[in-house]
Amino acid sequence: MARRDSIGEVPPVPWRTVVGSGIAGEAKLDHLRLVSLGMRCWQDIEHYGLRIWFTDPDTGSILHLSRSWPRSEQENSPAATRRLFSFQAGALAGGQIVSQAAKRSADGELLLATRNRLSSVVPLSPDAWQMLSAPLRQPGIVALREYLRQRPPACIRPLNQVDNLFILPVAECISLGWDSSRPDAGCAGNQRRR
């Protein structure tokens, strides 16, 4: 490994990591705090739903809660007002989860225990995202570009639904836009100077 590092060669990724061999179907997560990274709402002809992403500041792992419902229920129950594990989706999307009894599925789905008050949701603290580390939180565009250049190609990286989710510091948002031909919104902004 030292020789590879000295010549700048990226070490191979173990095949078990690539194919997911040995990953348990569900893993218990005891005594954890998860920070919300936001929520994405979606709809199609028959259903509407949401996905809320969370990260564990201690491990850097990213988990998600996903649900869908029949489109006929959307007018009376918008996605942000729906309840997931006895918590309102909007509160989950803008808060932190503190849990003593949660599970993670192999694909990163978060399952919360609701009995005996073992899980709770509290608002995001002002410095919640400051506690996150790389590669999720990058200090700027230059660092992100370098990280993306050096990481292994997608075909050999571990399967991850949020492989390209990053947090960058922004001083101000100059314009905000949405393009119906792309599935995301965009913000043109100035990076914070240090």
Structure-token pair, residue 124: 């995001």
Band of pLDDT at residue 108, cut at 50, 70 and 90:
confident
Helices (H), 73-179: 89-93, 141-150
Pairing assessment for the beta strands 102-105 and 110-112 based on DSSP bridges: antiparallel
pLDDT tens profile 82-99: 998 889 999 999 999 998
What is the per-residue pLDDT for 157? 79
Distance CA 150, CA 7 (A): 14
**Which residues are CB-contacts of 89 (< 8 A; sequence separation ≥ 6)?**
39, 50, 52, 67, 79, 80, 81, 82, 83
Mean per-residue pLDDT over the chain, rounded? 82
Residue 8 pLDDT > 70, yes or no? no
Distance CA 88, CA 173 (A): 29
pLDDT tens profile 118-171: 788 999 988 898 889 989 999 998 999 999 999 988 888 777 767 888 898 888
Report the b/e string of 127-148 with b at 16+ CB within 10 A.
Answer: ebbeebeeebbbeeeeebeeee
Band of pLDDT at residue 10, cut at 50, 70 and 90:
low
CATH 2.40.50 domain position(s) in the chain: 23-125
Band of pLDDT at residue 1, cut at 50, 70 and 90:
very low
Q: How far is CA 178 from CA 20, 168, 182, 183, in A?
A: 35, 19, 8, 9
Lowest-confidence segment of 17-26, 35-44, 101-110 by average pLDDT: 17-26
Pairing assessment for the beta strands 102-105 and 26-29 based on DSSP bridges: antiparallel
Task: List the helix and strand counts (H, then E) for the chain.
Answer: 4, 12
Class of domain 23-125: mainly beta
What is the per-residue pLDDT for 114? 65
What is the per-residue pLDDT for 18? 54
- Look up the pTM and report it: 0.75
Percent with pLDDT over 90 in the chain: 40
